[in-house]
Amino acid sequence: MATDLSLKEQEAVQVLLQDWQDILRCTTIDQALERVGVPFSHEQRMTIAAFLLESPEVREAMRWHSATYILTNDEKLIARTLLKHEKNPQPLPAAADIAQALFLSEERAWEGLAALAWVGFFHKTEEQEVCLAPNYRQFLTGLGLYYHEVVLESGERFNTNCALDFFIMVHGPTRQKILTGLKEGTLPEVSSQTGMSIKPALSVVEGMVEAIQKAAKTQTWQETMHEDQRATLNDACGFSAERIHIVVEKGRLCEVSPESTWYLRGGG
């Protein structure tokens, strides 16, 4: 029940519901808590997560798997690290090893593992060894364990469906190219099958295209463009999990890190 949430937790839920009305946003719980002035708390995040899963109205507002909104971006990287051991008979790596590999504190690694266990990504065997859950592939559908975080000048953070969504928000020519493609019917058709386990890169792009096709009919997405300010994209390589940092200011590309990053120029 919403009444079981604190006032700040209720405010965070309202932030989520408001953001999710924007087809380009898939804001996470920790980002919503930050928006209402609450430092990250694993316990508060889990309290809100339990409420979200118990509310049919809220679940209806989620376009992706619930873990997309419950897990932090660092926890998605932790899950991707665990996936590397999918076919390895040895136990999954310990929190200390994960923390070292991802440059996290050991406390954050432990919290991440606790969150992943809570959503059912892995479990303990009868021998008390930690291994991926039998149905772990459900977490690979839709956006799966990818994230694309936008940070505005104000410090506001939110995830978006695809890296291209970021360029749509901050670069007019990219947005116009998408609109032209919609008008002329030249954007790729959307497959009925989605999920990174089937076709990783394509499914995310298809989800983005589907989102834009729906949003273009309502025009609401055009009200939340950010090309008049400095905006940052925090991402991570889908193969190595190396963090990617891109800054665009007033439609001009300012920073790209690492320098070897491939990025979209004018939506092409």
For 183-204, what is each residue's pLDDT tens digit? 777 765 544 433 333 333 444 4
Q: 58-110: per-residue pLDDT in tens? A: 888 998 999 999 999 999 999 999 988 777 767 788 899 999 999 999 999 99
Q: How far out from the chain centre does Cα 215 lie?
A: 19
Between helix 73-83 and helix 106-119 the angle, nearest 10°, is 80
Coil, helix or strand at residue 57: helix
Token output for 259 = 């320098």
Q: What pLDDT is recorded for position 191?
A: 42
Helix or strand (DSSP H, E) at 109: helix 106-119
Q: Which of 79-83, 127-131, 219-223, 227-231 shows the lowest mean pLDDT across its residues?
A: 219-223
Q: For residues 244 and 239, give the distance between their C-alpha atoms in angstroms, rounded to a whole number.
A: 12
Lowest mean pLDDT among 4-18, 31-45, 74-88, 188-202: 188-202
pLDDT at 38 over 70: yes
**Alpha carbons 197 and 141: distance in angstroms, whole number:** 7
Average pLDDT over residues 131-158: 92
| Confidence check: pLDDT of 242 > 60 | yes
pLDDT tier for residue 22 given thresholds of 50, 70 and 90: confident
Predicted local distance difference test score (pLDDT) of residue 194: 36
Burial of 53 (0-12, 13-18, 19+ CB in 10 A): middle
156 pLDDT above the threshold of 80: yes
> With 50 as the cut, is the pLDDT of residue 226 above it?
yes
Task: Provide the pLDDT for residue 206.
Answer: 55
| Statement: residue 231 has pLDDT above 80 | yes
β pairing state of 252-257 and 149-152: unpaired
Integer Cα distance of 1 and 59 in angstroms: 14
